[in-house]
Structure 1
Amino acid sequence: MATVIALLVLCLPVVTLGYIGFCYASPWGTCRRCSTARKRRTCRACDGTGMRPRIGWQLYVYLRRLHRDGTR
């Protein structure tokens, strides 16, 4: 059991930093709502562009704005 916990403790930062790097390098992903229908109709998620920001990028922008507004 201790080896599983140690493995998780070692792998979690690697996976987290990898996802942060991925979101920084490519903040926009395809819209799942539009790509499944293969139609570029106007949807609320992407406004018909077919691209929407990733969850990690949305979280980064939210925290950046929160910090900026809190330090003014």
Structure 2
Amino acid sequence: MENITIKVDPEIAKAYREAEPEKQQKIQMFLNIMLKKAVSQKPLLDIMEEASQQAISNGMTPEILESILNDEK
């Protein structure tokens, strides 16, 4: 993996910096999947399948993803 810098709203940056390392890792996985989709020329279904397999191999579960998407903090 490589690091990049992306501008976000100040409150997002603050919330990310203050998040637990485990939550930061989950956010990074989610953003990696979304960015891959955004820049790829592959069909969406192929990207989703690859992202799903990568997320599963990194320990992502449907429950973890749901908790990330539903987290109000």
| TM-score, normalised with respect to structure 2 | 0.30
Q: State the structure with bigger RCO (CA 8 A, min sep 6), 1 or 2.
A: 2
- TM-score between the two structures when normalised by the length of structure 1: 0.31
Larger strand proportion, structure 1 or 2?
1
Which protein has the larger Cα radius of gyration, Structure 1 or Structure 2?
1
